[in-house]
Amino acid sequence: MRHLAATVAWMTVLPVPGSWQPSPVTRADGARIIGLVPVSGALVGALAVAVAWSAHVGGLPTVLVGALAVGAAALLTRGMHLDGFADCVDGLGSYGPPERAREIMRQGTVGPFGAAALALLLIAEAAAVGALADRGAWLAIGVAVGAARVAAVLGCRRAWGPSNPDGFGALTAGTQGMTSQALWVTVALAVAIPVVSGAPWQGPAAIAAALLLSTLAMRHCVRRFGGMSGDVLGFGIELAGVIALIGFCLG
């Protein structure tokens, strides 16, 4: 329970007493915390569904339904995954060595590449959530948001070490074995089966594509930046989420 509490504290703004969490946090703790990230994703997904449903029932336009749901999810997660997404895009847009790319990512400001990519991401997410809400596909919204967190488990596979010797990446990178990865991928594929009415294959196919493409993108980031970091995990989560949402909208 201490590691679940720490996962919620790390991944959301929900108040979790420090006494409920392991202290100090070791790599062994980091491994267990990352292994529970999809559970926190279920909380974020539930909030997104609740906000989208309320806005839809309230008669708001589709674009506002999607925007409010995406905004609520961002607020619950401190916007840290969006921040990581923008930082990674800025780093990828640099032409220097890995050290220079990591320096750009640590600056705390969003450059033109990151700003443009972030705007496109949010527009795509809001449009997809709004479209799914119009169909009454509430499960699809929740599954996309929750299953996207499986990307964090895949991103912490043992083959990818941290880009820095300290910080979030040092506690979590390279901590997830094949059992944890296979378990969460299986769960994500299974819960996606009923997402698209009349097409039980479409949900799992969308999730599979989302996790595969986000993993490939994270692998490129690891090679480009010299290792895994919290920003790269956020990048992978956001990418997986938007791909899953778009996949559920098709057809």
State the pTM of this model.
0.95
- What's at 198, amino acid-wise? G
Which pLDDT does position 17 carry in this prediction?
81
The stretch 147-175 carries a mean pLDDT of 92
The stretch 155-164 carries a mean pLDDT of 93
DSSP track, 13-81: -----GGGS-SS--HHHHHHHHTTHHHHHHHHHHHHHHHHHHHHHTT--HHHHHHHHHHHHHHHTTTHH
Q: What is the 3-state secondary structure (H, E, C) of 125-177?
A: HHHHHHHHHHHCCHHHHHHHHHHCCHHHHHHCECCCCECCCCCHHHHHCCCEC
The stretch 208-227 carries a mean pLDDT of 97
**In sequence order, what are the residues at sequence separation of 6 or more whose Cβ sits closer than 8 angstroms to the Cβ of residue 16?**
5, 6, 8, 9
Which pLDDT does position 19 carry in this prediction?
66
Confidence class of residue 137 from pLDDT cuts 50, 70 and 90?
Answer: very high
pLDDT in tens, 229-246: 999 999 999 999 999 999
pLDDT at residue 21 tops 80: no
Confidence class of residue 1 from pLDDT cuts 50, 70 and 90?
Answer: confident
**Considering the chain, what percentage of its residues have pLDDT values greater than 70?**
99
pLDDT in tens, 45-88: 999 999 999 999 999 999 999 999 999 999 999 999 999 999 99
pLDDT in tens, 167-194: 788 889 999 999 999 999 999 999 999 9
The stretch 215-228 carries a mean pLDDT of 96
